[in-house]
């Protein structure tokens, strides 16, 4: 290559190479950055080359191997130009088809990108894909357009035009002014205005002093890799930016300090440097301007602290990478004691852009004070992992949900962690916050280099803080005492918290220490080391307290507190691992006993429990499927003899304490049963004509057969319990009356039985039914209130139940559910929604009722407005916003309003209510503000699940017993860990683990219009196979009993509540 | 000359003077562990932090390394400084309770307990010995190795050093071991120095004329082997 010596020669050269080749066919663009190569892009590339040669297509198709394009989730992918068709996650065998289609100008439809969850929508071009559509890819976009090892590619696409302009003016002061005017701030995290730094560097020391311009590519944050991608994908962009910076401050030597762990980045940069030198864009007298600048590479050994500028300088000088106290700043005294300007890779990548587009235009991007774009590496529990470039001031919502596609686990996103180990966590309810340096700092985090780790609800914030502290403890250089010992001690306390060994004093000490470490350390690493703790404490203090006071890890992460995740997740603490192990050993009666010990409603829960145990099951993590624990429970309750469990009922003596339980739902019955076993005399008052509460009023018989429920309730009764049916609180009895009648304690568990009103016109017309009234009329009395065209408003379980019950009534023609959000956002259980759809119920999403149309005093229809999705709300879902002029009327004969239930509180006179309008009770003891009166279940929590109501009943029974015995109400908290050793099953070791079992169900035809139970029990072989899929998390905590030789322990009864 | 204010007093110092020197010149006590005249400033122990600046821009800096600046307002014992210093001393006590120097610091600052898990380390990595060896003895026989938790001081590869002249300078400057507390047995003391100065353990029979500031004395808690 000929060395260019004048600006004119360079311009001619650009013109010469920019001429398009005569006939350019389609181009295959392959993303082959480090991430792409790790996903197999090299294999794809090999197949492409072979196919092209074999088919003799080399003249008709071209390929371009680029650096990272950012969509790492979809690697390896190919983009076919023109048309920008993106084929993601390719396999080698797909490649020939794509090449054939590309040559013919066609599209391979089935291989095009589709977003997960909405497979029906395909995206014809890259720009339409939400991941790309919502970004502004000024810097990353160039990665896709050039082959990083071809300088011609870069020059063709307008590369080095910034340098060209700079050399034309040949005026360093102007460069500095332009950068100042652009408002560019340091992308390494600090956000110091780059122009100001350059101005200081330019002014520092006498002219003629050797100065240095350093590119800091020591990127070490876990999960951040934007700097690597820029060096790999567009090294000439960095070289150009450095040359401009060098000329601006008067440096003639530049250094790229890059980690040895980035071999591809080093390789590409070395090639680019050679090319730039050969072409005369680096070196002495660049393009005849009289300016000289050259760049060399220094490889860092990969210490995190070497990203700190004084440590980086020490490392380049060959000393250990340790920071020194500033001042003097490197701008005055840097490398070898000379003025040195250090900028981050991404900052430098922005510089050519400023000169190419003009500082005025550049300053318009983003928000005032924070101009330009920022690249984030979006990782963690998010659908679209990758590099994301957005203008400053974009909200976290937009990045996480619109670009990132939201959580990839189906759970809600709880927080994002920005800024790497020295950054902080920002909770989901602050996701409407714009991202810029100042807002992030005010929120207790930092921009850092732009790592963004998305965390879902199964992430424990204490564990996150501990993880980062462990990282910092190892990466602290150890020079200054508060950083070295401070991070060690903070980690020590966090470790104690996650193991349940810490007290509130330790938490106070942790906070005190964190503030001192932030205040007193030498360099940026230490000064920000407390951020993970301080920000999680600021937003998630509750979680810390939960660990410390209640010895619980709500996210199910901290092993020493969680034990087996299934047991930890269960509100009543059922030892799921234990009965699953018994099933694997074919010990069904043992299994039944384990279930029944924890849960007085095993058969009901085997059918209707929302099984949190399965959501936390480790077999379901990292791509697997959780053990079907509920189906196994169903198998046990259907198979084993309920007589295997015999509760011992002590005789209640004459002067035994008397307890009144109001409400015979799952919570009241549980409390009554357990209290009766402690020798109390219990009287249950139930307002309805049958006991069972929501189990009978709300849950239809096709989900929970009535004889199963009746049998279960009967088994809980004994001679210590009296049931009075038809006796309602407020009408027939009162709390005062009961206390006056000699009851020592009262448990209020009246549930949540009032349907919320729609608050629209015509709601009181005939034919409009509250959901619960409709269900009760049928479930208790057999009355069929629905007729003709039935509309159900709501998206929860009671809405779907009401719809499916209505469908089974004789006079009903058709049933439609109207919901204000999308079907995917309906809170009802997935399987219920699917069953409803299968049965022929129509669901109309994104509509809100405006008014009930009333004719002759009776409902004739409903006027709806269609909704569009607006901004994100606190729950991370898009808010439905009515569309103007979208109103329509739907003819309806029966309207069921099932938008949620609340407790009827008019009967609770004399008891305090909570802010949300439910009965107020202490979370741990369930005591109300009146001594001797306890409350639990839905009346306290609002509509929740069966198992939570049972858990409240258990808790109430214990608290009431302690109250009666005159003991303090609060129980000491202990972590519940597996305590009984059950040997592994004896079976063939090489048995293939079966896939998760699917319980059989009645076909749609069989179940139409009848109330036979839909879900059926699995068979014995299936159950054993399923149980053997269990990973046996318990074995980590239990030991074979040495004395009895292990196996004997299996038969012993673990006496645990 | 550079004019600055320390705790409200005006002082003029030569260019290049550190805040620590200026404060000491005025007679304000600023504790240090890693600083020693004749050795280059290091800024590692953070005990000498002072508060500079005002309002939201106020911050703590290590006075041993910070050069005096024109018009700077320095506070050597503000609430923020004292709080930080006491925490640092608490951390020191938690790691190295047997050091007489550290015990004295603790008593002078009213630190009567430490709340962390007790460790018994023999080094606080202040680096005095390394600088002594390099800058005054011109030997460079010892240096730092490792990073973070694993950082330690020693000769290369822990081999007997050909550079070391066994001058004892390193031991002479060590705040953690020269004045090592003798536990409960003075005859086993490393140097016995503390027994002649302000020895600990007033409670013990054999130390009736000695005094100790820690309650309870952490050094006494060390299990004898």
Task: Tell if the CB–CB gap between B148 and A521 is shorter than 8 Å.
Answer: no
Is A513 in CB contact (< 8 Å) with chain B?
Answer: yes
Chain B nearest CA to A209, separation (Å): 22
Nearest to A334 by CA among A210, A217, A250: A210
Distance, CA of A625 to CA of A997 (rounded, Å) = 10
* Chain pair A-B, CB pairs under 8 angstroms: 96
Percent of chain B residues topping a pLDDT of 90: 42
Task: Tell if the CB–CB gap between B148 and A320 is shorter than 8 Å.
Answer: no
CA distances (Å), origin B219, targets A632, B103, B200, B213: 59, 9, 9, 11
Distance, CA of A251 to CA of A341 (rounded, Å) = 9
DSSP state of A623: T
CATH of domain A563-646+977-1051: 1.10.1060
pLDDT in tens, A1003-1051: 888 877 778 888 888 888 889 888 988 988 898 888 886 554 444 344 3
Residues of chain B with C-beta less than 8 angstroms from the C-beta of A325: 41, 43, 61-62, 65-66
Task: Give the pLDDT confidence score for residue B209 in this predicted structure.
Answer: 43
Annotation: CATH topology of A159-364: Rossmann fold (3.40.50)
Is A512 in CB contact (< 8 Å) with chain B?
Answer: yes
Is A80 in CB contact (< 8 Å) with chain B?
Answer: no
CATH of domain A7-129: 3.40.30.10
Task: Tell if the CB–CB gap between A486 and B144 is shorter than 8 Å.
Answer: no
Nearest to A643 by CA among A587, A678, A578, A596: A596
Question: Is B66's pLDDT higher than 70?
Answer: yes
Provide DSSP, A498-541: HTT---HHHHHHHHHHHHHHHHH-SSHHHHHHTHHHHHHHHHHH
The CATH class of the A370-532 domain is alpha beta
Task: Give the pLDDT confidence score for residue B70 in this predicted structure.
Answer: 93
Half-sphere exposure of A798 (CA within 13 A, CB side): 31
Task: Give the pLDDT confidence score for residue A22 in this predicted structure.
Answer: 61
Q: Helix, strand, or coil here: A682?
A: strand
Mark the ranges of chain A whose per-residue pLDDT is less than 50: 1044-1057
Token reading at A344: 């981050």
Is A480 in CB contact (< 8 Å) with chain B?
Answer: yes
Backbone angles phi, psi at A277, to 5 degrees: -65, -45
Task: Tell if the CB–CB gap between B125 and A481 is shorter than 8 Å.
Answer: yes
Q: Which of B15, B17, B44 to mutate to test the interface with A (most CBs of A within 10 A)?
A: B44
Axis-axis angle for helices A226-233, A345-357 (nearest 10): 60
CATH 3.30.420.40 fits A791-895, yes or no: no
Distance, CA of A999 to CA of A628 (rounded, Å) = 9
Q: Which of B64, B85, B91, B148 to mutate to test the interface with A (most CBs of A within 10 A)?
A: B148
Sign of CA dihedral A827, A831, A836, A838: positive
Q: Which of A325, A477, A484 sits opposite B43 (nearest CB)?
A: A325
Backbone angles phi, psi at A615, to 5 degrees: -70, -25
The answer to whether residues A420 and A535 touch, using CB atoms and an 8 Å cutoff, is: no
Q: Is the ipTM of this complex over 0.95?
A: no
Residues of chain A with C-beta less than 8 angstroms from the C-beta of B63: none
Cα nearest neighbour of B151 on chain A? A478
User: Would you place residue B225 in the very low, low, confident or very high pLDDT band (cuts 50, 70, 90)?
Assistant: very low
Is A486 in CB contact (< 8 Å) with chain B?
Answer: yes
Percent of chain A residues topping a pLDDT of 90: 48
Is A1030 in CB contact (< 8 Å) with chain B?
Answer: no
Is A519 in CB contact (< 8 Å) with chain B?
Answer: yes
Distance, CA of A1018 to CA of A638 (rounded, Å) = 10
Residues of chain B with C-beta less than 8 angstroms from the C-beta of A314: none
Please list the residue range(s) of chain A that carry CATH number 1.10.1060: 563-646+977-1051
Task: Tell if the CB–CB gap between B88 and A482 is shorter than 8 Å.
Answer: yes
Task: Give the pLDDT confidence score for residue B213 in this predicted structure.
Answer: 42
CATH of domain A658-753+903-964: 3.50.50.60
The answer to whether residues A531 and A464 touch, using CB atoms and an 8 Å cutoff, is: no
Task: Give the pLDDT confidence score for residue A447 in this predicted structure.
Answer: 84
Q: Does the N-terminal peptide bond of residue A328 adopt cis geometry, omega within 30 degrees of 0?
A: yes
Task: Tell if the CB–CB gap between A509 and B115 is shorter than 8 Å.
Answer: yes
Distance, CA of B131 to CA of B144 (rounded, Å) = 11
Nearest to B161 by CA among B179, B136, B186, B143: B143
User: What is the arithmetic mean of pLDDT over B20-45?
Assistant: 92
User: Would you place residue B211 in the very low, low, confident or very high pLDDT band (cuts 50, 70, 90)?
Assistant: very low
Q: Which of B59, B67, B150 sits opposite A327 (nearest CB)?
A: B67
Q: Which of A485, A521, A522 sits opposite B91 (nearest CB)?
A: A485
Provide DSSP, A833-898: HHHHHHTT-EEE-SEEEEEEEEETTEEEEEEEEEEEEEEE-TTSSEEEEEPTT--EEEE-SEEEE-
Is A720 in CB contact (< 8 Å) with chain B?
Answer: no
User: What is the arithmetic mean of pLDDT over B124-132?
Assistant: 91
Task: Give the pLDDT confidence score for residue B175 in this predicted structure.
Answer: 84
Scanning A286-325 for CB atoms below 8 A from B yields 303, 305, 320, 324-325
Task: Give the pLDDT confidence score for residue A361 in this predicted structure.
Answer: 92
Distance, CA of A783 to CA of A805 (rounded, Å) = 11
Please list the residue range(s) of chain B that carry CATH number 3.30.70.20: 128-173
Token reading at A678: 């402690």
> From chain B, which residues contact A within 8 Å (Cβ)?
41, 43-46, 49, 59-62, 65-67, 80, 83-84, 87-88, 91-92, 94-95, 115-117, 124-127, 144, 146-151
Task: Tell if the CB–CB gap between A478 and B151 is shorter than 8 Å.
Answer: yes
Which stretch of DSSP H or E encloses residue A64? strand A62-66
Cα nearest neighbour of B16 on chain A? A328
Please list the residue range(s) of chain A that carry CATH number 3.50.50.60: 658-753+903-964, 791-895
Task: Give the pLDDT confidence score for residue A1047 in this predicted structure.
Answer: 43
Task: Give the pLDDT confidence score for residue A794 in this predicted structure.
Answer: 92
Is A516 in CB contact (< 8 Å) with chain B?
Answer: yes
Residues of chain B with C-beta less than 8 angstroms from the C-beta of A479: 44, 125, 127, 144, 151
Token reading at A341: 């300007």
Q: Which of B87, B148, B150 sits opposite A512 (nearest CB)?
A: B87
Cα nearest neighbour of B66 on chain A? A327
Cα nearest neighbour of A321 on chain B? B147
User: Would you place residue B197 in the very low, low, confident or very high pLDDT band (cuts 50, 70, 90)?
Assistant: very low
Chain A nearest CA to B79, separation (Å): 12
Q: Which of B83, B95, B148 sits opposite A476 (nearest CB)?
A: B148
Task: Give the pLDDT confidence score for residue B100 in this predicted structure.
Answer: 75
Token reading at A938: 């839905």
Backbone angles phi, psi at A456, to 5 degrees: -100, -175
pLDDT in tens, A378-430: 999 998 899 999 999 999 988 998 898 888 887 889 999 988 888 889 998 88
CA distances (Å), origin A571, targets A593, A611, A613, A805: 18, 10, 9, 29
DSSP state of A676: H
The pLDDT mean for chain A works out to 88
Distance, CA of A1023 to CA of A1025 (rounded, Å) = 5
Task: Tell if the CB–CB gap between B43 and A480 is shorter than 8 Å.
Answer: yes
Task: Tell if the CB–CB gap between B148 and A505 is shorter than 8 Å.
Answer: no
Task: Give the pLDDT confidence score for residue A989 in this predicted structure.
Answer: 54
Task: Tell if the CB–CB gap between A505 and B115 is shorter than 8 Å.
Answer: yes
**How are beta strands A878-882 and A858-872 bridged, if at all?**
antiparallel
Distance, CA of A574 to CA of B200 (rounded, Å) = 56
pLDDT in tens, A899-920: 988 888 888 877 888 888 889 9
pLDDT in tens, A78-93: 998 888 888 988 888 8
Distance, CA of A614 to CA of B221 (rounded, Å) = 50
Provide DSSP, B156-220: GGGPPPSS-----HHHHH-TTTTTB--TT-GGG-SS-HHHHSS---TTSGGGTT-----SS-HHH
Distance, CA of A778 to CA of A807 (rounded, Å) = 12
Distance, CA of B76 to CA of B79 (rounded, Å) = 9
DSSP state of A112: S
**What are the strands, taking DSSP E only, across A873-1002?**
878-882, 888-891, 894-897, 901-902, 933-935
Chain A nearest CA to B189, separation (Å): 27
Please list the residue range(s) of chain A that carry CATH number 3.40.30.10: 7-129
Residues of chain B with C-beta less than 8 angstroms from the C-beta of A329: none
Backbone angles phi, psi at A236, to 5 degrees: -65, -30
Annotation: CATH topology of B128-173: Alpha-Beta Plaits (3.30.70)
Q: Which of A303, A325, A502 to mutate to test the interface with B (most CBs of B within 10 A)?
A: A325
Cα nearest neighbour of A493 on chain B? B116
Token reading at A545: 């307290």
- Residue where the block lists tokens 């567009």: A234
User: Would you place residue B221 in the very low, low, confident or very high pLDDT band (cuts 50, 70, 90)?
Assistant: very low
- Residue where the block lists tokens 């069972």: A692
User: Would you place residue B194 in the very low, low, confident or very high pLDDT band (cuts 50, 70, 90)?
Assistant: very low
Task: Give the pLDDT confidence score for residue A516 in this predicted structure.
Answer: 94
The answer to whether residues A827 and A796 touch, using CB atoms and an 8 Å cutoff, is: yes
The answer to whether residues A751 and A663 touch, using CB atoms and an 8 Å cutoff, is: yes
Nearest to A303 by CA among A284, A287, A319: A319
Task: Tell if the CB–CB gap between B45 and A481 is shorter than 8 Å.
Answer: yes
Q: Which of B46, B92, B126 to mutate to test the interface with A (most CBs of A within 10 A)?
A: B46
Residues of chain B with C-beta less than 8 angstroms from the C-beta of A509: 115-116
The answer to whether residues A348 and A217 touch, using CB atoms and an 8 Å cutoff, is: no
Q: Does the N-terminal peptide bond of residue A75 adopt cis geometry, omega within 30 degrees of 0?
A: no
The answer to whether residues A455 and A379 touch, using CB atoms and an 8 Å cutoff, is: no
CB-count exposure of residue A1036 (10 Å: 0-12, 13-18, 19+) = exposed
Q: Which of B43, B65, B116 sits opposite A489 (nearest CB)?
A: B116
Residues of chain B with C-beta less than 8 angstroms from the C-beta of A516: 83-84, 87-88
CB-count exposure of residue A824 (10 Å: 0-12, 13-18, 19+) = exposed
Task: Tell if the CB–CB gap between B88 and A477 is shorter than 8 Å.
Answer: no
Residues 6+ apart with CB under 8 A from B168: none
Percent of chain B residues topping a pLDDT of 70: 78
The angle formed by the CA atoms of residues A884, A887 and A892, to the nearest 5 degrees, is: 160
Task: Tell if the CB–CB gap between A487 and B148 is shorter than 8 Å.
Answer: yes
Task: Give the pLDDT confidence score for residue B45 in this predicted structure.
Answer: 92
Into which CATH architecture does domain B2-77 fall?
Roll (3.10)
How many CB atoms within 10 Å of residue B193?
15
């Amino acid at each position: 290559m000929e060395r260019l010596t004048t600006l004119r020669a360079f311009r001619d050269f650009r013109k010469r190479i920019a001429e398009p080749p005569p006939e350019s066919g389609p181009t295959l663009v392959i993303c082959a950055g480090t991430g792409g190569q790790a996903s197999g892009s090299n294999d794809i590339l090999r197949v492409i080359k072979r196919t092209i040669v074999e088919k003799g297509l080399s003249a008709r198709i071209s390929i371009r191997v680029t650096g990272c394009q950012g969509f790492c989730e979809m690697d390896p992918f190919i983009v076919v130009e023109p048309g920008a068709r993106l084929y993601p996650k390719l396999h080698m065998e797909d490649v020939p088809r794509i090449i054939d289609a590309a040559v013919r100008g066609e599209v391979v439809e089935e291989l095009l990108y589709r977003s997960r969850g909405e497979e029906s929508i395909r995206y014809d071009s890259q720009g339409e894909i939400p991941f790309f559509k919502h970004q502004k890819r000024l810097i990353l976009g160039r990665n896709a357009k050039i082959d990083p090892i071809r300088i011609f590619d870069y020059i063709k696409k307008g590369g080095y035009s910034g340098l060209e302009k700079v050399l034309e003016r040949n005026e360093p002061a102007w460069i500095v002014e332009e950068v100042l005017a652009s408002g560019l701030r340091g992308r390494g995290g600090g956000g110091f205005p780059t122009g100001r730094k350059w101005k200081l560097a330019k002014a520092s020391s006498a002219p003629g002093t050797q100065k240095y311009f350093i590119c800091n590519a020591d990127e070490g944050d876990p999960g951040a890799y934007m700097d690597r991608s820029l060096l790999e994908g567009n090294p000439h962009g960095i070289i150009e930016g450095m040359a401009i910076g060098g000329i601006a401050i008067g440096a003639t030597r530049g250094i790229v300090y890059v980690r040895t762990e980035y071999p591809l980045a080093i390789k590409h940069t070395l090639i680019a440097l050679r090319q730039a030198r050969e072409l005369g864009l680096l070196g002495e007298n660049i393009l005849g301007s009289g300016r000289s600048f050259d760049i060399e590479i220094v490889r860092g050994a990969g210490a995190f602290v070497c990203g700190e500028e004084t440590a980086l300088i020490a490392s380049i000088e060959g000393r250990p990478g340790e920071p020194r106290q500033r001042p003097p700043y490197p701008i005055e005294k840097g490398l070898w004691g000379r003025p040195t300007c250090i900028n981050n890779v991404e900052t430098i990548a922005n510089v050519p852009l400023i000169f190419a587009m003009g500082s005025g235009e550049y300053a318009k991007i983003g928000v005032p004070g924070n101009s330009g774009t920022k690249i984030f590496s979006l990782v963690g529990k998010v659908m679209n992992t990758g590099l994301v470039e957005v203008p400053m001031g974009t909200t976290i919502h937009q990045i996480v949900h619109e670009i990132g596609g939201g959580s990839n686990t189906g759970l809600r996103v709880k927080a994002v962690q920005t800024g790497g180990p020295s950054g902080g966590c920002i909770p989901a309810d602050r996701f409407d916050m714009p991202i810029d340096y100042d807002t992030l700092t005010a929120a207790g985090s930092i921009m850092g280099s732009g790592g963004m780790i998305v965390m879902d609800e199964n992430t424990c914030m204490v564990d996150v803080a501990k993880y980062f502290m462990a990282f910092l403890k190892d990466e602290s250089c150890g020079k200054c005492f508060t950083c070295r010992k401070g991070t060690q001690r903070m980690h020590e306390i966090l470790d104690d918290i996650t193991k349940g060994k810490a007290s509130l004093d330790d938490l106070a000490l942790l906070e005190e220490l964190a503030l001192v470490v932030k205040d007193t350390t030498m360099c940026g690493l230490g000064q920000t080391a407390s951020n993970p703790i301080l920000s999680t404490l600021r937003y998630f203090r509750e979680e810390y307290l939960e660990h410390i006071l209640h010895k619980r890890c709500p996210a199910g992460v901290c092993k020493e507190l969680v034990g087996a995740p299934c047991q930890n997740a269960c509100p009543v603490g059922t030892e799921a691992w234990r009965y699953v192990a018994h099933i694997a050993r074919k010990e069904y009666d043992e299994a039944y006993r384990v279930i029944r010990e924890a849960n007085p409603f095993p058969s009901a829960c085997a059918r209707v429990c929302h099984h949190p145990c399965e959501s936390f099951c480790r077999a379901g993590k990292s791509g697997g499927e959780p053990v079907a624990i509920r189906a196994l429970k169903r198998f046990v309750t259907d198979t084993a003899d309920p007589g295997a469990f015999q509760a011992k009922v002590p005789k209640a003596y004459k002067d035994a304490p008397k307890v009144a339980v109001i409400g015979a739902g799952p919570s009241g019955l549980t409390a009554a049963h357990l209290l009766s076993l402690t020798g109390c005399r219990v009287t249950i008052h139930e307002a309805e004509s049958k006991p069972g509460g929501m189990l009978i009023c709300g849950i239809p018989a096709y989900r929970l057969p009535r004889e199963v429920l009746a049998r279960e309730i009967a088994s809980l009764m004994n001679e210590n319990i009296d049931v009075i049916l038809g006796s309602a609180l407020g009408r027939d009895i009162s709390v005062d009356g009961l206390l006056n009648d000699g009851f020592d304690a009262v448990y209020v568990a009246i549930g949540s039985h009032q349907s919320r009103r729609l608050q629209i016109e015509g709601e009181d017309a005939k034919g409009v039914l509250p959901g619960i009234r409709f269900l009760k009329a049928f479930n208790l009395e057999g009355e069929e209130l629905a007729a003709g065209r039935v509309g159900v408003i709501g998206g929860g379980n009671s809405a779907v139940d009401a719809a499916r019950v209505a469908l089974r009534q004789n006079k009903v023609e058709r049933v439609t559910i109207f919901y204000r959000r999308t079907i995917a956002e309906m809170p009802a259980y997935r399987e219920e929604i699917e069953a409803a759809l299968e049965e022929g119920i129509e669901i109309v999403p994104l509509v809100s009722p405006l008014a009930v149309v009333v004719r002759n005093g009776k409902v004739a229809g409903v006027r709806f407005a269609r909704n569009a999705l607006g901004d994100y709300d606190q729950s991370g879902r898009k808010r439905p916003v009515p569309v103007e002029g979208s109103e329509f009327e739907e003819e309806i004969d029966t309207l069921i309003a099932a938008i949620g239930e609340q407790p009827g509180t008019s009967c609770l006179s004399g008891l305090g209510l909570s802010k949300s309008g439910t009965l107020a009770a202490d979370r741990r003891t369930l005591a109300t503000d009146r001594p001797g009166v306890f409350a639990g279940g839905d009346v306290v929590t609002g509509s929740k699940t069966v198992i939570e109501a049972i858990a409240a009943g258990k808790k109430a029974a214990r608290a009431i017993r302690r109250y009666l015995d005159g003991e303090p109400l609060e129980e000491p908290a202990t972590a519940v860990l597996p305590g009984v050793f059950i040997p592994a099953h004896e079976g063939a070791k090489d048995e293939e683990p079966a896939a998760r079992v699917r319980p059989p169900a009645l076909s749609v035809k069989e179940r139409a219009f009848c109330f036979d139970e839909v879900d059926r029990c699995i068979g014995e072989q299936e159950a054993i196979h399923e149980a053997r899929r269990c990973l046996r998390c318990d074995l980590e905590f239990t030991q074979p009993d040495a004395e009895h030789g292990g196996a004997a322990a299996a038969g012993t009864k673990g006496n645990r509540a | 000359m550079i004019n600055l204010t320390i705790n409200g007093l005006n002082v003029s110092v030569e260019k290049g003077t550190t805040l620590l020197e200026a404060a000491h010149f005025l007679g304000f006590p600023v504790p240090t562990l890693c600083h020693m005249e004749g050795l280059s400033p290091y800024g590692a122990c953070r005990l000498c932090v002072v508060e500079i600046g005002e309002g939201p821009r106020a911050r703590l800096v290590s006075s041993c390394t910070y050069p005096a600046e024109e018009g700077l307002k320095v506070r050597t014992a503000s609430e923020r400084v004292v709080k930080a210093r006491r925490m640092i001393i608490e951390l020191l006590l938690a790691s190295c309770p047997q050091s007489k120097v550290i015990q004295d610091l603790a008593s002078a600052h009213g630190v009567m307990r430490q709340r962390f898990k007790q460790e018994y380390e023999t080094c606080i990595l202040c680096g005095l010995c390394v600088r002594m060896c390099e800058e005054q003895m011109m030997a460079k026989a010892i240096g730092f190795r490792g990073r973070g938790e694993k950082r330690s001081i020693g000769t290369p590869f822990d081999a007997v050093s050909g550079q070391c002249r066994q001058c004892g300078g390193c031991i002479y400057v060590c705040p953690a071991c020269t004045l090592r507390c003798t536990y409960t047995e003075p005859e086993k003391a490393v140097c016995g120095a503390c027994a002649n100065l302000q020895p600990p353990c007033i409670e013990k029979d054999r130390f009736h004329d000695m005094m100790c500031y820690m309650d309870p004395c952490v050094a006494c808690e060390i299990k004898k082997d």
